[in-house]
Amino acid sequence: MSTWANLGLQDSASPLMEQLIFFHDHALLILVMITVLVGYLMFMLFFNNYVNRFLLHGQLIEMIWTILPAIILLFIALPSLRLLYLLDEINEPSVTLKSIGHQWYWSYEYSDFNNIEFDSYMIPTNELTIDGFRLLDVDNRVILPMNSQIRILVTAADVIHSWTVPALGVKVDGTPGRLNQTNFFINRPGLFYGQCSEICGANHSFMPIVIESVPVNYFIKWISSNNS
Ligand code: CUA
């Protein structure tokens, strides 16, 4: 999860988020190079006294500074497009989780397993235990198996919400009357925190998401203990 002074992206917990971080670093590097070059040119303009009274056109330089930025943009656009389609790919999911946004909590359904369903509310500050995270912990966590393809179906019951977990690279809008789908693969155990990221109303900041990623046999134990 994000903690103090952590201004960058969180550590990834899925291969897709890893790719998103690589793309972020790649785009940032290009941005820095452009900023340094343009900054240098603008700075140097203040100090030159050269005047060319006969300058009317410069075909060559205009060709260069038109085509070069277009090529640079391609180097951002093509990897971006690759990621976009990679994020949409569904790869034989072994678990399907349905998540429904409400004002102001999430409810979950495991339709593959005898329809386990529960609501997930934020724990209010005055009820927090010493090891709890304020505005981030919930009463019922989403338990998911690691090292498995997981499909998530997102919708909403009232207004638009957004199911967003940064460490997994997932951000899907829950829209009333629509069913959105995406998939992810958690590659390590742990707790992964997220928040609704669609401005959905007065208590928008109080509908967090907690994923508890566990080994597959633990997940099966949890599922069967809920079925009895
Ligand atoms: Cu739900 Cu913001």
Question: pLDDT digit string (tens) for 44-69?
Answer: 999 998 888 999 999 999 999 999 99
pLDDT of residue 91: 86
CA 200 to ligand 1: nearest atom: 2
Residues 210 and 193 in one domain: yes
Residue 42: per-residue pLDDT: 96
| Residue position matching structure tokens 């179906």 | 153
Q: Residues 101, 68: one domain?
A: no
Confidence of residue 228 (pLDDT cuts 50, 70, 90): low
The mean of the pLDDT values for the chain is: 95
What's the angle, vertex CA 193, arms to CA 102 and CA 29, rounded to 5? 115
227 falls in which pLDDT band (50, 70, 90)? low
What token pair was written down for 177? 């009357």
Q: pLDDT tens across 91-145, in order? A: 899 999 999 999 999 999 999 888 899 999 999 999 999 999 999 999 999 999 9
For ligand 1, which residues put their CB under 6 angstroms from it?
Answer: 101, 161, 196, 198, 200, 204, 207
Instruction: Decide: helix, strand or coil at residue 181.
Output: strand
Domain that holds residue 156: 95-227
Atom of ligand 1 nearest to the CA of 159: 1
Domain membership of residue 6 (yes or no) is no
- Count the domains in the chain: 2
Q: Based on the domain organization, do 70 and 137 belong to the same domain?
A: no
What distance in Å separates the CA atoms of residue 195 and residue 180, rounded to the nearest whole number? 17
pLDDT for the residue numbered 114:
81
User: What tokens appear for 12 in the block?
Assistant: 């990834």
Residues 6+ apart with CB under 8 A from 213: 13, 144, 145, 146, 186, 188, 189, 190, 191, 192
CA 161 vs CA 105, 116, 133: distances in Å: 10, 22, 22
218 and 121: one domain? Answer: yes
Residue whose CA is closest, atom 1 of ligand 1? 161
- The neighbouring-strand residues paired with 122 are 138
Same domain, 145 and 179: yes
Q: HSE-up of 193 (CA within 13 Å, CB side)? A: 15
Same domain, 106 and 219: yes
User: Which ligand 1 atom sits nearest the alpha carbon of residue 199?
Assistant: 2
- Write down the pLDDT at residue 115: 86
Q: By C-alpha distance, which of 115, 166, 168, 117 is closest to 3?
A: 166
